């Protein structure tokens, strides 16, 4: 029996501003985000973050424990649900729409239980802009077909021929060698956070989207058991890998925007991690689109329930009326949202 291989999301999903607004409601406002281990937040500290336009601060009062960590939106100060795992990782929501942590990441804490994330002090953080869509970076992280030629130094330590990705609900575990599950810990947290523990150190990055579909902000945190020369050697190695990915992503985004690439087929074995996360994006965006359409239809039914309202509607230009298949005009960067969703089916 022939199995149809999974297909990628179309290029329009990497270049559309209206599509990002749909992603924001469908994906980002309903997600949990890795902030880092509790050691990143020493007593008396306040750290700022931003996810999908939501600004928040993480505060830890002097002489506090992890249980007294406070995470609030900025500037209104709304308290946000957050969770610190028994092994010291801090996750947060950015809106009340996110489900409970255990529902969003089922089974994750069993995997996290193998590592004490408080054992490596926070050494350095970096952030800088990237000229690519957030999904362009996640595409690259979720497979290692490119590793042999893009990451030669990394491939010497972790041969891509044995690389595998195990998909779970909203998180994935990467295995450099499925036969040696204790050799490093590489994790992806849907939609845009990662955590890599290997070589005596630990690195996490967040690829933060913006309203401009071809622009993101990369944020990196580095932890290591040692400081000085040993840390700097580790830092140089992981930065080399990161910059190799960065350059690849900027080139890929240019090709998407120029129309060189539109849509393709994924290798079901070697790109199963890409297929999984893209399918999650597709499912959630379609669900949100249908919800938005139902709400508009309900609003239309309510507002047309009287003769007076119907009369008023007849005076409104046809293009602005509610419709079971709502459209956006093609002026400027506007797209038909229904068209974009249909293109991904």
| Structure confidence by residue, pLDDT tens digits, 6-16 | 899 999 999 99
Q: What is the mean pLDDT of the chain?
A: 84
Point out which residues pair with 221 in neighbouring strands.
Answer: 125, 204
Query: For position 145, what pLDDT does the model report?
Result: 57
**CA distances (Å), 299 to each of 278, 303, 338, in order?**
31, 6, 18
Q: Which CATH number fits domain 11-30+115-274: 1.20.1250.20, 3.90.700.10, 3.40.50.300, 3.90.380.10?
A: 3.90.380.10
Report the alpha-carbon distance of residue 219 to residue 129 in Å, rounded.
9
Beta strand pairing status for 216-224 and 33-37?
unpaired
Beta strand pairing status for 193-198 and 185-189?
antiparallel
The model's pTM: 0.85
pLDDT at 144 over 90: no
Q: Strand, coil or helix: what is 44? A: coil
Beta strand pairing status for 122-130 and 216-224?
antiparallel
**CA distances (Å), 15 to each of 82, 219, 246, 252, 298, in order?**
32, 22, 18, 12, 31
| Cis peptide bond upstream of 191, omega within 30 | yes
pLDDT at 159 over 70: no
30-34: average pLDDT: 99
């Amino acid at each position: 029996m022939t199995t149809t291989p999974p297909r990628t999301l179309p290029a329009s999903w990497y270049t559309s501003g209206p599509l990002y607004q749909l992603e924001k409601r469908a994906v980002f406002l309903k997600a949990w985000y890795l902030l880092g281990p509790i050691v990143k937040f020493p007593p008396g500290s306040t750290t700022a973050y931003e996810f999908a336009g939501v600004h928040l601060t993480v505060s830890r009062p002097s002489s506090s424990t992890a249980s007294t960590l406070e995470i609030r939106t900025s500037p209104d100060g709304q308290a946000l649900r957050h969770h610190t795992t028994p092994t010291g990782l801090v996750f947060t929501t950015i809106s009340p729409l996110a489900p409970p942590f255990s529902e969003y990441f089922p089974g994750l804490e069993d995997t996290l239980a193998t590592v004490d994330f408080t054992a490596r002090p926070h050494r350095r953080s970096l952030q800088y802009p990237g000229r690519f869509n957030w999904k362009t970076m996640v595409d690259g992280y979720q497979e290692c077909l490119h590793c042999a030629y893009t990451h030669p130094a990394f491939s010497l330590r972790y041969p891509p021929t044995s690389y595998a990705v195990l998909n779970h609900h909203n998180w994935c575990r990467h295995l450099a060698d499925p036969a040696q599950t204790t050799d490093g810990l590489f994790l992806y947290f849907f939609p845009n956070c990662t955590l890599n523990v290997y070589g005596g150190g630990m690195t996490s990055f967040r690829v933060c989207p913006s309203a401009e579909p071809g622009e993101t902000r990369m944020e990196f945190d580095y932890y290591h058991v040692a400081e000085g020369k040993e840390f700097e050697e580790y830092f140089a190695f992981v930065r080399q890998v990161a910059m190799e990915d960065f350059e690849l992503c900027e080139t890929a985004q240019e090709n998407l925007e120029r129309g060189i690439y539109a849509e393709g087929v994924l290798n079901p074995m070697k790109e199963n991690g890409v297929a999984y996360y893209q399918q999650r994006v597709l499912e959630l965006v379609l669900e949100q689109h249908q919800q938005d359409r139902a709400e508009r239809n309900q609003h239309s039914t309510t507002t047309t329930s009287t003769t007076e309202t119907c009369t008023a509607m007849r005076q409104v230009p046809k293009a602005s009326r509610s419709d079971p298949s709502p459209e956006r005009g093609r002026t400027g960067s506007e797209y038909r949202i229904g068209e974009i969703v249909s293109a991904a089916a």
